[in-house]
Amino acid sequence: MLQALFKNWWMLVLKGALLIIFAVLAFVNPTLTAATLAIWFSILIIADGVFTIIAAIQSWQQREDKWLILAEGGISLLLGLLLFFMPGVTLLVISFTIAFWFIFSGVARIAMAIQLRKEIKGEGWLILGGVLSVLFGLLIFARPILGYGSLMWIIGFCSLLAGVVLVAVGLKLRKGDKLLERQQTQDAAFQELA
């Protein structure tokens, strides 16, 4: 599993960057209409789903949790497409969809961090990002009819935190990927000498 994560470190960085961009858009214009919010968020969720499905397929042989990763990507893609093709839904439906996505992706990140706890250092950041995502999702569930501005600030803050955590974890995994490549090169050179 760790080797698959090393290989796909860039996807975590890209997902994090998308979340950070979405957070900036939310902070810049917190008084969006429900349709605009739905379209922006649907694009974010669709991209997340596509990248997650690609990561699951690329590392199919190495991962034990491939079905969980594939399910996460499929659910993100489905939710994103629903929001994209039905942007005129009410703010309540949008709020619940966003809350569900934050909770589901947070739980998936916590599960991944627990699996990685013995293989990498700093998995606590991934757990923190997952916990914050779940907490923000629960907050949105508890108060789904907040004003547009309040909802955008909450979503923006959560997106920013989750994005920073994903970028940090992805860059940490990139270092591990380079270390793994050097180790494999050294092992191959040692085998040639033997």
Please report the domains of the chain, with CATH numbers, ordered by start residue. 2-193 (1.25.40)
Q: How far apart, in whole angstroms, are the C-alpha atoms of residue 59 and residue 76?
A: 19
Tokens of 111: 């599960």
Question: Quick one: tokens of 183?
Answer: 């180790």
Ordered per-residue pLDDT tens for the chain, 194 residues: 556 666 777 778 888 888 888 888 878 876 666 667 777 778 888 888 888 888 778 777 766 667 777 888 888 888 888 878 876 666 677 778 778 888 988 888 888 778 777 666 666 777 887 888 898 888 888 877 666 567 777 778 878 888 888 888 888 777 765 655 665 565 555 565 55
In whole angstroms, what is the distance from residue 191 CA to residue 2 CA? 24
Cα distance between residue 51 and residue 101, in whole Å: 15
Work out the burial of residue 31: count CB atoms within 10 Å of its CB; fewer than 13 is exposed, 13-18 middle, 19 or more buried.
Answer: exposed
